[in-house]
Amino acid sequence: MNPAKTLKLGRNDPCHCGSGRKYKDCHLRIEEEWRSQQLRLRNAQDQLLQRILAKATEAEAAELQTAFDRYWQQRYQFAQLAELNQREGYGADRFMVWFAFDYRRSDGQTLVEQMVHQMQESDLSPLERQLLPTWVNVRLRPYQVERLHPNAGATLRDLLTGEALILADSHASLRLELAEVIVGHLVPVDTPLGRTAPNYYLAGPAAHLTPDTAGPIRTFADVHLEAIRRERPEADWQTLLNERSEIFSHFILILPTDKPDPDRIQNFIAETRQRLLGE
Ligand SMILES: [Zn+2]
């Protein structure tokens, strides 16, 4: 199906599928329904994210504190959570999203996984029920901004898999710069007519890093994956993300804030390699 062609198609033109029938008697209605369903999904994502974050703030203080220490690595005390939005660029909000999507609580599940398992008894809307299971593997990870689409979003390159994704979040895209690295949570939502890959949106704020961090953050991730593969050769990126996505927060914490300092980043990677791989 070619979406560019269907846009120009008049109601009385022959349908693009080659059936020989008029478009209005063939694919028109299916496509209109698809579009309005996708628009409703797009509108449902905010509400679902708010529900997830509300549940995260209701978590037990002990769980939040354990997660906090893993994410911030003793840089901050749990009592400082409220001030981290100021001090660390939405640090409190970024932490809460990580807690909801990535942190495995003492029952072994992430909060999003738990919500999926309890979906039947929940008051989620049908659209939220459709979205939530597709967010289970969403984790904190690095992307690079490859192209900006004015007023429409951006193409991002997943720095781990190399896959290209469409960030359809026009509002979030206004804050993006070409080639910068963003570390955050991208959730799949609607799928435009004629495409198989979904549009992605940012769940909560992302950290914005300068373009020169793209290589080092990938190397840093490679070292961690290599360490896991020594024990479990079959481990992949999702294995690393499921167990240790907080390493990307640790990487952000060592970045210089005033002027570029490539040596500091290289030393940090060398120390990590020494600690994990003994090299
Ligand atoms: Zn047709």
- Cα of 31 vs centre of ligand 1, distance in Å, is 10
In the chain, alpha helices (H): 3-8, 28-57, 61-72, 84-87, 91-101, 111-117, 126-131, 170-173, 214-231, 237-244, 247-254, 262-277
pLDDT digits (tens, 9 = 90+) for 54-84: 999 999 999 999 999 999 998 999 999 989 9
**Is there a domain that residue 189 lies in?**
yes
Quick one: tokens of 155?
A: 């193409």
- Cα of 17 vs centre of ligand 1, distance in Å, is 4
CB 186 within 8 A of CB 165: yes
pTM of the predicted model, to two decimals? 0.92
- Cα of 2 vs centre of ligand 1, distance in Å, is 12
- Cα of 272 vs centre of ligand 1, distance in Å, is 57
- Cα of 166 vs centre of ligand 1, distance in Å, is 27
Q: Which residues contact 14 (CB under 8 A, 6 or more apart)?
A: 20, 21, 22, 23
**Is there a domain that residue 116 lies in?**
yes
Domain extent for 68: 38-275
- Cα of 26 vs centre of ligand 1, distance in Å, is 4
Looking only at the bridges linking them, the beta strands covering 164-167 and 199-202 are: parallel
pLDDT digits (tens, 9 = 90+) for 24-59: 999 999 999 999 999 999 999 999 999 999 999 999
- Cα of 12 vs centre of ligand 1, distance in Å, is 12
- Cα of 27 vs centre of ligand 1, distance in Å, is 4
Give the span between the Cα atoms of 223 and 219, in whole angstroms.
6
**Is there a domain that residue 4 lies in?**
no
**Is there a domain that residue 5 lies in?**
no
- Cα of 99 vs centre of ligand 1, distance in Å, is 46
**Is there a domain that residue 223 lies in?**
yes
- Cα of 265 vs centre of ligand 1, distance in Å, is 56
- Cα of 197 vs centre of ligand 1, distance in Å, is 22
SS3 content of the chain, % helix, strand, coil (to 5): 55, 15, 35
- Cα of 126 vs centre of ligand 1, distance in Å, is 28
Give the span between the Cα atoms of 73 and 253, in whole angstroms.
9
Q: Is 172 left (phi over 0), alpha (psi -120 to 50) or beta?
A: alpha
CB 160 within 8 A of CB 143: no
**Is there a domain that residue 155 lies in?**
yes
* Helix, strand, or coil (residue 83): helix
- Per-residue model confidence as pLDDT tens for the chain (279 residues): 445 444 678 999 999 999 999 999 999 999 999 999 999 999 999 999 999 999 999 999 999 999 999 999 989 999 999 899 999 989 999 999 999 999 999 899 999 999 999 999 999 999 999 999 999 999 999 999 999 998 889 999 999 999 999 999 888 888 899 999 999 999 999 999 989 999 999 999 999 999 999 999 999 999 999 999 999 999 999 999 999 999 999 999 999 877 888 899 999 999 999 999 998
Q: How many structural domains compose the chain?
A: 1
**Is there a domain that residue 32 lies in?**
no
Q: Which residues contact 99 (CB under 8 A, 6 or more apart)?
A: 56, 59, 64, 67, 71, 111
What are residue 180's phi and psi, to 5 degrees? Answer: -70, 160
- Cα of 34 vs centre of ligand 1, distance in Å, is 14
Q: Is 100 left (phi over 0), alpha (psi -120 to 50) or beta?
A: alpha
* Helix, strand, or coil (residue 159): coil
**Is there a domain that residue 18 lies in?**
no
* Helix, strand, or coil (residue 59): coil
- Cα of 39 vs centre of ligand 1, distance in Å, is 22
- Cα of 152 vs centre of ligand 1, distance in Å, is 28
The whole-number pLDDT of residue 5 equals 47
- Cα of 165 vs centre of ligand 1, distance in Å, is 29
Q: Which helix (H) or strand (E) holds 186?
A: strand 186-188
- Cα of 16 vs centre of ligand 1, distance in Å, is 6
- Cα of 29 vs centre of ligand 1, distance in Å, is 10
